[in-house]
Amino acid sequence: MNPWKVRADLVAAARELPARGLTAGTSGNVSVRDGSGMIITPSGVPYGAMSASDIVQVDAKGRVISGHLAPSSEWRLHLGLYQARPEVGAIVHAHPRYATALACTGRDMPAFHYMVAIGGGDSIRCAPYTPFGTEELAQVAAQALAERRACLLANHGAVALGATLPGALDLMTEIEELAAQYVTALQIGNVALLSREDMAEALARFKNYGQG
């Protein structure tokens, strides 16, 4: 794995967050697994000004081992999730408008559409509010992500996990689109929910979805 290509890929992914309408300003952060540690975007650097040399490498204890800047304030969230989920290769955390609005109500995203299954279950759970940048946030996020690939964070934003960085970024995009649809449906009223059986079938179909 070329470390500078990984850093360049992280910068490109970070710039995709505002480009896709997934975050504003310097909020949000992106990382990839690196052995027992990770490589993550820096704290508070505008995406347009970010370069590969700004990306930060940390070890399993969160200590900076490469880079001249401080890692994202959410490094504990990312590192905790990598430790809890050994199959995950990349994480995207952002504050998309609709997903965050829904998270501010503290409610899960239920099975209003079969595409909710793209998150790995029959709902997108909402983790309870915990201050940003804390180990407690990593813990409640890991609980909400049990057998899931995405979750909301109450009064905060959303998290998407992926085997790869493009996969995690695309999943976050899907979650935001679903949140926009659900918020719109709530405004219309009387949202019809799919049954557990319907969602079990959708989940089974997703196992063979795409080109493998």
Residue 210 has pLDDT above 70, yes or no: no
Answer whether 195's CB lies under 8 Å from 123's CB.
no
Q: What is the pLDDT of residues 147-181, one digit of tens each?
A: 999 999 999 999 999 999 999 999 999 999 999 99
Describe the strand order of the beta sheet including 90-94 as a list of residue ranges. Answer: 64-66, 56-58, 37-40, 29-34, 90-94, 157-162, 150-153, 126-127
Is position 74 annotated as part of the catalytic site? yes
pLDDT band at 200 (very low <50, low <70, confident <90, very high): very high
Q: What is the pLDDT of residues 78-119, one digit of tens each?
A: 999 999 999 999 999 999 999 999 999 999 999 999 999 999
Q: Where are the domains of the chain?
A: 3-206
If you average pLDDT over every residue of the chain, what do you get? Answer: 95
Among 74, 135, 177, 201, the active-site one is 74
Task: Please report how many Cα atoms fall inside a 13 Å half-sphere around the Cα of residue 17, on the Cβ side.
Answer: 32
Q: How far apart are CA 207 and CA 115, in angstroms?
A: 13
Instruction: Give the pLDDT of residue 122.
Output: 97
Domain 3-206 belongs to what topology? L-fuculose-1-phosphate Aldolase (3.40.225)
Neighbours of 212 (CB within 10 A): 4
Please, is 64 exposed, middle or buried when counting C-beta atoms within 10 Å of its C-beta (0-12, 13-18, 19+)?
middle
